[in-house]
Amino acid sequence: MQSPRDLMRAVLAFGGVLRSAGLPVTTPEVMDAVRALEVVDLMDRHEVYLALRTVLVNRMEEQPAFDRCFEAFWTYRADEGQGLDGLITTAQPARADEEHAPDLVESAQEKQAQIALDDWDEGEASEDEPLEVPGLSDREVLMEQDFSTFPAEQLDEVARLTVLIAKRLARRVSRRRKPTRRGGVVDLRRSMRANLMKGEIIDLRRRARRRRKVRLVLLCDVSGSMDLYSRFLLQFLYALQNVFGRVETFTFATRLTRVSDLLRGPSYKRALKRLTEVRDWSGGTRIGDAIRDFNQEWGHLVDRRTIVLILSDGWDTGEPDVLAQEMLTLKRRAGRVLWLNPLLGNPSYEPLTRGMAAALPLVDHFAAAHNLSSLRELATHLILR
Amino acid sequence: MRAEIKKIQDMMETADYVTDPAIAMSVHLAMTLKKPLLIEGHAGVGKTEIAKVMAKMLGTSLIRLQCYEGLDAAQALYEWNYPKQLLHIKLEESTTHSTSEKEAAIFSPPFLIRRPLLQAISQPGAPPVLLIDEIDRADEEFEAFLLEVLSDFQVTIPEIGTIKATQPPYVILTSNRVRELSDALRRRCLYMWIDFPGFEKEVRIVTRKVPGVNERLAREISRFMETVRTIRLAKVPGVAETLDWAQALSSLHADHLDEELVAETLGCVVKDADDIKRLKRELASGGIGRFVAAQS
């Protein structure tokens, strides 16, 4: 018979396996899982599965990973013929699991490699410090230069400058948001107190209406030459991220990939550098399909308080009709849709590609984002009224 | 299967809620672990229904907080009855009560309007079921506020003092995923995703809820819905639509589906002009057979 301690240890180990597979399992949740197992039939595998799933899974997207982990972790011991209650008595379940569930561990390690970006290149952390850059005017030349024309060795400096500009902007925006004394909604509660002796309300007390932060959704084309611009845009927006409620990022070339989790946390700059590695070089860009996938899978991230930014040169190898239809769906949901096309920085450029022509009428703002000054300019459009 | 879970499943079936082990398990754990249960799923899959059935099962009351954009503590927790306060001040105008006496009078329980959250906490007797419906429609600030209430089930009203629940209510939260919920809230809750029902389950739901529908029609309806949900539509129809449609077909005394009948009643199934057009196109190209034929 298992003792409660062994049950606890097994569940703890299972929590570890889930964590390495990318599920954010916390200790209180593990404790709840133990309590949950006390009120179900431990001899019934499906019941154990359902109970653990209810407690340890937090969102639908985590379920496939949970299922894989559950299979790997709780199956192997059944194979040893111990029965289900025997499963839970193994002395070192976590290690045993690693030996017996190569598939799971492999995928877990893969996931870890994606997430554990903090471990590489620690030396760069100083980028977060407020840097003293001698007068931006000295860099006026850099401000106007197209990102693609910088030599490789200068890119780091430009990146640093991008962050610096973003931080200055962030300070300005947050100052602008302080509540005003006039306007806002009537605060009945305070008015009532203030007028207690007067018998009627003469002096209205007001409070500022709270403002929800604007959220951003970025859809970045990482095919071919777009990749470099995408990285600068991301760098810029992530340095601004405190101003926004949330920033969600997707990349696409032929496939749509959500990279928000990769970019979360202090290691986002390093993660940015890796974005190119998930890129698929095959074929052209199917923007319409990418936006359709986004609308289908991730439409719930977009509401009237969301600004959607699409960065692409508009070279769509898919059907323009699809692109137009999906842009319409997106526009209906979002507060604003911005399209950034670095080619617009070239004076002779005209948006004549079929994709661009289909998308343009459905865009609230069309801008370049090809150099530092255009990024700075972009910030003024990231506001909803 | 644990007897309690079986019992929940039976009770839910008795209350006309067609369930499955996963749903019964979640309800069982929510009741025994006394933790809030977050239910996500497409619109119309019966999320709200679970709270109603749970209250019925427990023989307790259901307190519902419908969330919307801009919902704040005054609407969710409590508010002072300002007109009544004003009237009271007016009536007391000529009396010699001091300011502090007047103040104490109008900021006392008779002037308090209890909103759903306070009601759920201060209800005497058996703990009620608190349904926080469509939490994804409320703002992020409200979510943070809710988190606070859910963690200790106590509310401090400056003028009155702290009110603490003797027995915390059973809490069910539902979300249609209009907005992504915070990790903090998710961690606090047990979680259940309700998918569209499988074919067999939907047949059971239809025959249970719409008695006028015969077995053949119920199967055809369910098969049709299963196929419709595989088409890319702006608004994928849920079980609520299935039941509306079954009800309509039943009142037309239909005993099987045919093209004409489907065309006439399509408005029960999809409720978006573009979707209707698309579905009609699909029906014209593949014929009704494709929609009601058994899939392997």
Structure confidence at residue B12 (pLDDT): 86
Q: Where are the domains of chain B?
A: 3-73+116-194, 78-114, 199-292
Q: Which of A45-54, A351-360, B99-108, B211-220 has the lowest mean pLDDT?
A: A351-360
Ranges of chain B with pLDDT below 50: 295-296
- Domain end, chosen from A83, A117, A151, is at A117
Q: Are residues A323 and A223 in the same domain?
A: yes
Contacts of B176 in chain A (CB under 8 A): 300
Cα–Cα distance for residue pair A147/A131, rounded to 1 Å: 21
Q: Measuring CA to CA, how many Å separate B103 from each of A191, A381, B108?
A: 13, 49, 9
Structural domain containing residue A369: 215-381
Q: Which of B111, B140, B182 to mutate to test the interface with A (most CBs of A within 10 A)?
A: B140
- Domain end, chosen from A193, A211, A229, is at A211
- Spell out the residues 6+ positions from residue B265 whose beta carbon is closer than 8 angstroms to its own: B245, B248, B249, B252
The helix/strand/coil state of B40 is strand
- Spell out the residues 6+ positions from residue A235 whose beta carbon is closer than 8 angstroms to its own: A159, A162, A163, A166, A269, A272
Structure confidence at residue A166 (pLDDT): 75
pLDDT in tens, A207-231: 665 556 778 898 988 877 777 787 7
Closest listed residue to residue A18, CA positions, set A54, A60, A80, A63: A63
B269 token code pair: 């199934």
CB atoms A301 and B99 under 8 Å: no
| Min distance B56 CA to chain A CA atoms (Å) | 22
Q: Which of A136-145, A316-325, B154-163 has the lowest mean pLDDT?
A: A136-145
Q: Are residues A234 and A260 in the same domain?
A: yes
Does pLDDT of A158 surpass 70?
yes
Q: Is the ipTM, as predicted for this complex, more than 0.90?
A: no
CATH number at residue A334: 3.40.50.410
| 206-225 in chain A: CB under 8 A from chain B | 210, 212
Nearest CA in chain A to B185: A58
Contacts of A35 in chain B (CB under 8 A): 33
Is the minimum CB–CB distance between B4 and chain A shorter than 8 Å? yes
Contacts of B139 in chain A (CB under 8 A): 210, 212
Is the minimum CB–CB distance between B178 and chain A shorter than 8 Å? yes
Q: Give B211 or A198, the one with higher predicted confidence.
A: B211
Does pLDDT of A173 surpass 80?
no
Is the minimum CB–CB distance between B190 and chain A shorter than 8 Å? yes
CB atoms B140 and A40 under 8 Å: no
Of B2, B139, B191, the CB nearest to A41: B2
CB atoms A197 and B99 under 8 Å: yes
Of B22, B103, B139, the CB nearest to A212: B139
CB atoms A199 and B90 under 8 Å: yes
Structure confidence at residue B260 (pLDDT): 87
Closest listed residue to residue A9, CA positions, set A100, A64, A73, A83: A73
Contacts of B191 in chain A (CB under 8 A): 54-55, 57-59
Of B35, B80, B141, the CB nearest to A192: B80
- Amino acid (1-letter code) at residue A146: D
CB B171, CB B36: distance < 8 Å: yes
Structure confidence at residue A204 (pLDDT): 67
**pLDDT above 70 as % of chain A:** 65
CB atoms B29 and A196 under 8 Å: no
Q: Are residues A365 and A221 in the same domain?
A: yes
pLDDT in tens, A66-82: 998 998 887 644 444 44
Of A35, A39, A199, the CB nearest to B93: A199
| Min distance B288 CA to chain A CA atoms (Å) | 26
- Domain end, chosen from A211, A228, A250, is at A211
The helix/strand/coil state of B162 is strand
Is the minimum CB–CB distance between A358 and chain B shorter than 8 Å? no
Structure confidence at residue A71 (pLDDT): 87
pLDDT in tens, A15-40: 999 998 888 899 999 999 999 998 99
Is the minimum CB–CB distance between A303 and chain B shorter than 8 Å? yes
Q: Are residues A286 and A354 in the same domain?
A: yes
Is the minimum CB–CB distance between A193 and chain B shorter than 8 Å? yes
Size of interface A-B (CB pairs under 8 A): 103
Instruction: Evaluate whether residue A153 is within a structural domain.
Output: no
pLDDT in tens, A236-269: 777 776 667 778 888 887 778 887 777 765 555 6
Q: Are residues A189 and A295 in the same domain?
A: no
Q: How many domains does chain A fold into?
A: 3
Q: Are residues A202 and A271 in the same domain?
A: no
pLDDT in tens, A175-194: 444 444 555 566 777 777 77
Q: Measuring CA to CA, how many Å separate B282 from each of A314, B218, B293?
A: 31, 22, 15
Q: Are residues A203 and A237 in the same domain?
A: no
Structure confidence at residue B247 (pLDDT): 94
A222 token code pair: 């990482």
Indicate the average pLDDT of chain A. 72
Instruction: Evaluate whether residue A329 is within a structural domain.
Output: yes
Structure confidence at residue A206 (pLDDT): 66
CB atoms B2 and A245 under 8 Å: no
Q: Give A104 or A337, the one with higher predicted confidence.
A: A337
Is the minimum CB–CB distance between B25 and chain A shorter than 8 Å? yes
B287 conformational bin, left if phi > 0, alpha if psi -120 to 50, beta if neither: left
Contacts of B187 in chain A (CB under 8 A): 24, 26, 28-29, 58
Domain B3-73+116-194 class? alpha beta
Is the minimum CB–CB distance between B31 and chain A shorter than 8 Å? no
Structure confidence at residue B223 (pLDDT): 93
Instruction: Evaluate whether residue A142 is within a structural domain.
Output: no
Q: Which of A38, A56, A58, A202 to mutate to test the interface with B (most CBs of B within 10 A)?
A: A58
Q: Are residues A273 and A318 in the same domain?
A: yes
Structure confidence at residue A130 (pLDDT): 35
CB atoms B186 and A59 under 8 Å: yes
Instruction: Evaluate whether residue A58 is within a structural domain.
Output: yes
Is the minimum CB–CB distance between B175 and chain A shorter than 8 Å? no
Of A24, A36, A201, the CB nearest to B29: A36
Q: Which of A54, A60, A328, A331 to mutate to test the interface with B (most CBs of B within 10 A)?
A: A54
Q: Are residues A24 and A54 in the same domain?
A: yes
Does pLDDT of A313 surpass 60?
yes
Contacts of A210 in chain B (CB under 8 A): 139, 141
Of A55, A192, A300, the CB nearest to B29: A55
Is the minimum CB–CB distance between B186 and chain A shorter than 8 Å? yes
| Min distance B226 CA to chain A CA atoms (Å) | 18
Q: Are residues A85 and A223 in the same domain?
A: no
Structure confidence at residue A111 (pLDDT): 37
Is the minimum CB–CB distance between A64 and chain B shorter than 8 Å? no
* pLDDT band at A5; cut points 50, 70, 90: low
The C-alpha angle B107, B113, B116, rounded to 5 degrees, equals 140
| Min distance B264 CA to chain A CA atoms (Å) | 27
